[in-house]
Structure 1
Amino acid sequence: MAKLTVELVNGDDPSELRHEFFGQHHIAAPRADELARLLPLLRDAVATVADAGSIEPVNVLLETFPPTMIVSSHDETGTPHLHFARDGEDAVSWLGRSCAAALAHVICGDPHVTVGRCQADGCERFYVDDSRNRSRRFCSNTCASRTTVAAYRARRKSQDAGA
């Protein structure tokens, strides 16, 4: 759910993940105008999780969209697991409740999920670090490459100036 939350905050086009979540939970995809009240709250909460900031934005999200705990076994294995919103709810409420619960777990130290902010100059995107050693620093290979090239060029320029 953290990946879906970051995808929404980054303004990414709907992905296979989003379609899968909506399909499994009988949620109609929300329109942009419907998401307008949720996105600022989500962005503040994701930023505080990524930056290890105040817990207040996550609490505001939880208060605005209080999760409803339900045990479900809808997946192919039939294994019971927790949901934090009811299937078939309106999309904004379902997203708000589910994302609020996911971010609350992350900010409280879920060892399986790390949310970060891209370290590339000028990039405001977030990412979920699911690497084995949790060492990811960039939202994409594009940002990583751009940063590496810029550092290389800066080193070359300083070497050329010193020669």
Structure 2
Amino acid sequence: MRYVAYIGNLTRLTVELVNGDDPSDLRREFLDQHSIDEPPAATLAELLPALREAVAAVADSGPIEPINLLLEKYPPVIHVSTHDQGGEPHMHFARDGESPASWLGRSCAAALAHVICGDPDVTVGRCQADGCARFYVDDSRNRSRRFCSKTCASRTTVAAHRARRRTRLRDADSSGDFSS
């Protein structure tokens, strides 16, 4: 496993948790590989406010305090693992089999710390669609993503088109030119 892929996947897992998404294949695989049970809603409810603030800090390029608070509450336990196919050694931030809150807190905090410190392969953004509070991991080639989903991108594009059309019609109406 490439270390950058590990950071990216943990960041995706973190964003999924913060966005309140249903468990994805990535999440199920991560938890299964590390002998972690799916956290109960009450466990997530305790962890999510700190995670949400930390993800927002990364997406908005600071302040770093929410990440430091998360690291303080869930300090990573760095060790080398060889659990993957082929037994290639790679770093982990939490021990397999820990409680879901500890494992998620440690793993997510360490990944977000890497990202805010400038990991070049992982970028977190905040959806630019009006009324959307979701985050996303931008893995586009030029890091130009602006929306959490195609739905938000399409909704924004349609709204902009309709606004331009209304402006053209209003301008045409006020000038008496109806050829638009």
Query: TM exceeds 0.5?
Result: yes
Pairwise mapping of residues 6-155 of structure 1 onto structure 2 (< 5 A)?
6-155=15-164
Separation in structure 1 between the aligned mates of residue 126 and residue 75 of structure 2, nearest angstrom: 26
| Structure whose residues are more often helix by fraction | 2
Gaps of 5+ in 1: none
Q: What TM-score, normalized by structure 1, do the two folds share?
A: 0.99
User: How many residues of Structure 1 are paired with residues of Structure 2 in the alignment?
Assistant: 163
Separation in structure 1 between the aligned mates of residue 88 and residue 121 of structure 2, nearest angstrom: 19
Separation in structure 2 between the aligned mates of residue 73 and residue 137 of structure 1, nearest angstrom: 36
Percent of aligned pairs sharing the same letter? 73
Separation in structure 1 between the aligned mates of residue 119 and residue 109 of structure 2, nearest angstrom: 14
* Partner-residue secondary structure (3-state), 1:115: strand
* Displacement after TM superposition at 1:36 (Å): 1.4
Gaps of 5+ in 2: 1-9, 173-180
Q: What TM-score, normalized by structure 2, do the two folds share?
A: 0.90
Q: How well do the aligned residues superpose, as a CA RMSD in angstroms?
A: 0.5
1:30-84 deviations in whole A, cap 9, x for unaligned? 1101111110000000000000121000000000000000101111132111000
The aligned amino acid for 1:119 is: Q
Runs of 4 or more above 4 Å deviation: none
Q: Which has the larger Rg?
A: 2
